[in-house]
Each structure stands twice: as C-alpha cells, then as structure tokens.
Amino acid sequence: MGSLPTLKYIQEALYRGTLTSTELLQSSIHRIEDPAGEGSNTFIKVNTAHALDKASSADTLFGSGLPPLPLQGIPISVKDLFDVKGERTRAGSVVLNDTEPAEKNAVIVQRLLQAGAILTGRTTMTEFAYSGVGLNPHYGTPASPFEREKRRIPGGSSSGSGVSVADQMACASIGTDTGGSVRIPAALCGITGFKPTASRVPTEGVFPLSSTFDSVGPLAPSVECCVILDQIMRGVPVNPLPPFPLKNLRVAIPKGLPLDHLDSHVTASFGRALKIMENAGVLLSEIKVHAIEDVNRPGSGARLLAAEAYSVHRSLLKQRSHVYDPRVSTRILPAAETSAADYIDLANWRKDFISTIEAELYSFDAILMPTTPIIAPLITELEESDSVYFESNTLMLRNTCIVNQMDGCALSIPCHMQGEPPVGLMLAGLRLQDEKILQIGLSIEKLLNQQ
C-alpha cells in the first residue's frame, strides 16, 4: 500500500525541476515497451511520438514561470471506450474496426487535456465492458501485479487501466464502472479506484454499455489522486478536500450476501482493516440490509443493464455476431426477449430498490464491504472453462454492483499488507454523497497506511 508516486508528489517534482515531463514519459514508455512486461496486453494503442512532443512542450511551460496546470506534463491512460479525436474507438472489440475515427474528444478527455494531461494511449478492456474479470481474446489479457509468473486476472472491465497504473505505465488512468469495472481492477491490482454517482461525470463521447448504470471514474495510486481527477472530469476547480474525522463515524457493514463465501485472505484483510478502524473510534455496525439480499433476484438491475446493452448492440449483433467474444454476446442476446413492459418494470424495480436502501442506510455515514469476495484467480482457469469464467465473473461483480444498482458512489482502497495478494476495501455512500465518501476515504487510507 502507498508504494506508487502520487499525482501530488509528481506535480511538485515537475514544478521544482527535479523531474521533467520528458523523463517521466520516457520511463512510462520504457515500461510499456519492455518485452518482459505487460505493455503489449495492457495497451491497444500507444501515442509515443505525439506524447513525447507534448512532454517537451510541458517542460518548456514549466520553465516559463507560468502557474502550472493541475496535470501539466503527467502521463494518463484512458480506457478504449473514450473518444479521442482522430482515433478509432473500438471498445476492446474487433467488431468496430471499420468505424470512422472520432471527430472530437469525449468531454472528460477534453477536460484532462485542458488540465495539461498527456495521453499515453488507450488501454485494453473486456470487450464492450461486459465482464468483471478482464479477459480479452482479441487484444490479450494483462496479468495483475501479484505473482505475475502465475498470471492472475487483472479484473475488469477496465483491466488495462488497472495494470497501466500498477506497473507505472501511466501515473493514473480513467475507466468506466457499470457494475464494478473501476473498483474491481483497482482492488486486484492493489491501487485505488473511485466510482462516482453516475450523473456526476459526463458520459458524452463514451461508448455505452448501459445508459442507466454507466459512470466514469479514475484508477490511481491514492484517494487524493482520485479527488484531483474527479474534480477535473467534473469541470470544477481543483481544490484539496479536508479529511473526515473518524472518531464516532457511523459505518454500516451489511451482513449476508456481501460477506458470503469470502476466501480466507479477503476475510483476514477485511477483518484487520475493521479492527484498525474500530481502534481509531469508528462506530462499526454489522446490520442486515434487506434490500441488498434482493439485488440478484430475477427482475433486478442485471436484466435492466442487459436490456440496455442489447439496445446498443442489436444491429451489430445481427451483422457481426460471429466476431464478438462469445462470452460477451451470449450475455447480451437473451435480452432480445425483454419487452417494453418488462423494461418499465425493471426501471420501476430499481427506483424502489434505491428508495428502500436509502431508507435502510440514511442514518449511516458510509457502508463498508470487501470490494471482491476472493483474490484474483488464474487467467488460465477462466480461459479453459466457461463455468469457472461465469462463476468468477458473478463473484467479482457481486458486491460492487450493489452500489451501481443503488445509484451510489464508492472507493476501493487497498487493505492488504505489503507482499500479500491485493484486497480492496470498498467504502460506499448513497447517491451524491461523493465528496463525503472521498473525505472519509482520505482518512481511512491514511490510517491503513500507518499500520
């Protein structure tokens, strides 16, 4: 925990002149191009020449004495869902190989560039963002950092984003989260990820999976980094948030489903983190949240998501279904049977779910769960067996999707000890409680890093 350089640390080094943007970018490119590394599986496209030109320009600006921009000269990667002017948005698929390059940047890409960021390239992902494990048969699957020789899954769907940060191929990355796709790779790669309330960050210029659930969030070395990137993507001034006092903080730990079938390492890491927080004065309450127990029942949000995915892919599936990853297309196609009346029922179910869970949790400052119930399984185990693949996918998404269903916000913060398999602590809040959750996250991260 806490071993990667933060955006603030890098900003200060660039401003003082102890580091140049060119040096920083060359280091990132070296890691991407290292034949012994994961760069070829992590990036679908790398912008080497253009990025080096931007780094040189950033170094000139640093020498001019002008106040630096918030991300001036800092390499950032973006998931292959985001439109970048002049580039083809493939969404981790070969289905869109013949589409025209984007005519303009996605809103959040434009805001990153205006803040001085240098885009290192487009990171690989699960095809069309429809899986929580991160496998991609078209472009390769990068292995998560822990026990790399064994090649464990990176988590998805923002798989390349997670590995690009963990391996310092980029200082931070931007992904999307429809059911956990920022938080899962953050957890399995040992970094921090933030899923905002969906309406908080614009999705214009982002290839959709679900108009209801899609949200855009950062994967980065720390909570403070996520604060900076979140503010930039929202288009608001970059200002530090004060940490939230932990003494007498009221935190709910949902019993039942979110704590079922945890592996022994996740159980130990989560329990240790809870003990540390309890010793700091956090008021932990293990409670039954009845709405959560219904989150995976028939007629729930998963079918709503699938129906919206089918509306996006209906014509593409008719023309090119044979080109899709079959583990993606087989999850989308059954939604063809969802009627308009069914869709309305599903949307109403979600409204009721949000109302119920808000009523059950309104008296708490935050909710705590393990981000994923298990550590990262081996890539080969999932590649060789459909049943293992889908079982692992369900487990990976189980806890994180609760937050998307309730239209909430959540951080995944590393809570494992150095040298252990990465485990994420998910700190969640109700909709539009984003700043409060980030503030609490700052305090919890500091507390865990002191141990």
Residues carrying an active site annotation = 79, 157, 181
Give the 3-state secondary structure of residue 24.
Answer: helix
Contact (Cβ atoms closer than 8 angstroms) between residue 130 and residue 155: no
Q: For 181, how many CA atoms within 13 A lie in the half-sphere containing its CB? A: 32
Burial (Cβ within 10 Å: 0-12, 13-18, ≥19) of residue 98 = exposed
Contact (Cβ atoms closer than 8 angstroms) between residue 273 and residue 241: no
Question: How large is the C-alpha radius of gyration of the chain?
Answer: 21
- The CA distance from 153 to 159, in Å, is 8
Sign of the four-CA dihedral 191, 195, 200, 204? positive
Contact (Cβ atoms closer than 8 angstroms) between residue 173 and residue 216: no
- The CA distance from 398 to 372, in Å, is 8
Give the 3-state secondary structure of residue 242.
Answer: coil
Cis-peptide into 40, omega within 30 deg: no
Nearby residues of 298 by Cβ (< 8 Å), 6 or more positions away: none
Pairing of strands 283-287, 118-123: unpaired
Strand order across the 283-287 sheet:
43-46, 118-123, 75-79, 172-176, 216-220, 192-195, 409-414, 424-429, 366-370, 250-254, 283-287
Burial (Cβ within 10 Å: 0-12, 13-18, ≥19) of residue 321 = middle
- The CA distance from 197 to 208, in Å, is 16
404-422 as b/e, with b when 16 or more CB fall inside 10 Å?
bbbbbbbbbbbbbeeebbb
Q: What are phi and psi of 98, to 5 degrees?
A: -95, 5
- The CA distance from 322 to 366, in Å, is 45
